[in-house]
Amino acid sequence: MCLWSSCWSLDIIIYTYQEKDPLFWNTWAQRTLKNALTLQKLNQNTAKNLILFLGDGMGIPTVTAARILKGQLSRQSGEETQLEMDKFPFVALSKTYNTNAQVADSAGTATAYLCGVKANEGTVGVSAAAVRSQCNTTQGNEVTSILRWAKEAGKSVGIVTTTRVNHATPSAAYAHCVDRDWYSDGEMPAEAVQAGCKDIARQLFENIPNIDVIMGGGRKYMFPQNQSDVEYPGEKKHFGTRIDRRNLVEEWNNRMKNKKAHYVWNKKELLSLNPNSVDYILGLFEPGDLPYDLERNNETDPSLTEMVEVAIKILKKNPRGFYLLVEGGRIDHGHHEGKAKQALHEAVEMDRAIGHAGLMTNINDTMTVVTADHSHMFNFGGYTPRGNTIFGLAPMLSDVDQKPFTAILYGNGPGFKVVNGLRENISTLDYEENNYQAQSAVPLRMETHGGEDVAVFAKGPMAHLLHGVHEQNYIPHVMAYAACIGQNRDHCMSSSGASSLSAALPSLTALLTLIRLLC
């Protein structure tokens, strides 16, 4: 447990001494006010580039706790720290419910913030008229994504995720599937395959031709059933899953052989590429999801920040710009497992990637949005003192069972444990260990999502349109409007036409004057 007396650095002592002076707070507030006043001049440029950072399961309590963790990793108190997303000038709230669920899942929400249409839980890239797991409700109910709109407008497009590339979030960018779990045909019921429904991995390569950047996990879903994995050849759980015996990676390589395209499966291969000579990349770094950042092998597994850097270097070569979807997908997994430390470190790594992307792009022509698909039953409290380690104990014992408790708790999940009929005494446990499962009020094998609104942070062209409280499906409509793609083009044509006319007027006036002189 890290209390003030034991974990102060000199910087924190100086900082808290300043805080005793009202001038400190007044000066800070006035500086913030001056910055806010500069926002009165809105950025109404056309967005050349669009980036969506999606923290899966990154509810507002997770954002706050990640902020504190980020500061404490730099030996600060933490509460006053700024995440990169905190620096974005515009913030909104997003209502996350699915059409048939008060508390949403990641598939229906992905359809909302990527395709602009709310949908049923468990379905991706289809409207609410489609019913989960019923293959015959797919056809005619497909909805397209902003990634497709960008591609059709001539932009380069990319997907980067720490989960499988055919997981719920990324799959809504390209697939139309009534079941998020149909990763390959090996996970589909035979009748669905016979009825003509396609698995999600297959749709990744067939639905939108030549997605420029694809990086994440999910290797086993691309290879024939029982084919051993290149990285884990002796582990059957990582063998290929495809019953149709297709090798989707080999097919991609063959189709792209006359293009500047590369398939990579480890960090060394990824970072050895010269992005200037790469137009297309398929990076599949694990058979399933990528490892948690705390458990990542720095020699073989790329970080989210490293993948984002390569992605932007490749995509930004297109003079028409790009659309990039980046998912910090394992925030969600950490919470489901009750492992808050894993979840929060995933959030901090995504924030690092957000900052790096900001350095590589220009706020004048790049709209960046950071949001979550849903929240979790995660929270922290207990009247902890300033600077208390985010993974530490509350400063008092329970006044009911006289036992200590951590600041972080879950409303439900696997952390519920009873010893001799009583709540487990955590004083005997290492509650700051990476995989410690925080205590929960209700026992579940897997913790559940939360139903409250999530934050939307925005900067760049037209970012001011993300304000107040909105339905989640509003997000891609704003981004499309900013970039003049999809159905939002009329304002761009009229404004460009007006600007072209005004630019031509001086030349036209000069020509008329010359004609008069000649006559």
Predicted local distance difference test score (pLDDT) of residue 39: 86
Predicted local distance difference test score (pLDDT) of residue 40: 84
Contacts of 387 (CB under 8 A, 6+ apart): 2, 3, 4, 7, 8, 12, 72, 77, 78, 79
**Taking every pair of C-alpha atoms in the chain, what is the biggest distance, in angstroms?**
108
Predicted local distance difference test score (pLDDT) of residue 208: 96
Q: What is the rounded CA–CA span in Å between residue 447 and residue 439?
A: 11
Report the chain's C-alpha Rg in angstroms: 25
Strands (E), 84-220: 90-95, 156-164, 213-217
CA distances from 355 to 157, 209, 304, 506 (A): 20, 30, 12, 43
Q: Which two tokens stand for residue 339?
A: 């492992």
Q: What is the rounded CA–CA span in Å between residue 130 and residue 416?
A: 37
The single residue listed with the structure tokens 């008069």 is 516
Quote the DSSP letter at residue 142: B
356 marked as binding residue: no
56 marked as binding residue: yes
Q: What is the rounded CA–CA span in Å between residue 343 and residue 357?
A: 21
| Annotated active-site residue in 5, 74, 94, 106 | 106
Active site residue 94: no
The secondary element (H helix, E strand) that includes residue 454 is strand 454-459
| CA 131 from centre of chain | 26
C-alpha torsion angle, residues 82, 83, 85, 89 (rounded to 10): 10
* Selection from 295, 332, 296, 363 nearest residue 84 by Cα: 363
373 marked as binding residue: yes
Are the beta carbons of 464 and 90 closer than 8 angstroms?
yes
27 marked as binding residue: no
Strands (E), 46-155: 49-55, 90-95
Predicted local distance difference test score (pLDDT) of residue 498: 39
- Sorted by where each starts, the structural domains of the chain and their CATH numbers stand as 43-377+454-483 (3.40.720.10), 393-443 (no CATH)
Predicted local distance difference test score (pLDDT) of residue 510: 45
pLDDT (tens, 9 = 90+) of the chain, 519 residues, equals: 344 334 445 556 556 788 999 999 999 999 999 999 988 899 999 999 999 999 999 999 999 999 999 999 999 999 999 999 999 999 999 999 999 999 999 999 999 999 999 999 999 999 999 999 999 999 999 999 999 999 999 999 999 999 999 999 999 999 999 999 999 999 999 999 999 999 999 999 999 989 999 999 999 999 999 999 999 999 999 999 999 999 999 999 999 999 999 999 999 999 999 999 999 999 999 999 999 999 999 999 999 999 999 999 999 999 999 999 999 999 999 999 999 999 999 999 999 999 999 999 999 999 999 999 999 999 999 999 999 999 999 999 999 999 999 999 999 999 999 999 999 999 999 999 999 999 999 999 999 999 999 999 999 999 999 999 999 999 999 999 999 999 978 888 765 443 333 333 334 344 444 445 444
327 marked as binding residue: yes
* Selection from 468, 436, 474 nearest residue 455 by Cα: 468
Q: Give the burial string for 294-315 (b: 16+ CB within 10 Å, else e).
A: eebeeeebbbbbbbbbbbbbbb
Are the beta carbons of 109 and 55 closer than 8 angstroms?
no
Q: What is the rounded CA–CA span in Å between residue 62 and residue 224?
A: 39
Contacts of 10 (CB under 8 A, 6+ apart): none
470 marked as binding residue: no
Predicted local distance difference test score (pLDDT) of residue 94: 98
Q: What is the rounded CA–CA span in Å between residue 85 and residue 91?
A: 10
Surface-to-core class of residue 483, CB atoms within 10 Å of its CB (0-12 exposed, 13-18 middle, 19+ buried) = buried
Alpha helices in 116-219 (DSSP H): 146-152, 168-171, 190-194, 200-206
Surface-to-core class of residue 203, CB atoms within 10 Å of its CB (0-12 exposed, 13-18 middle, 19+ buried) = buried
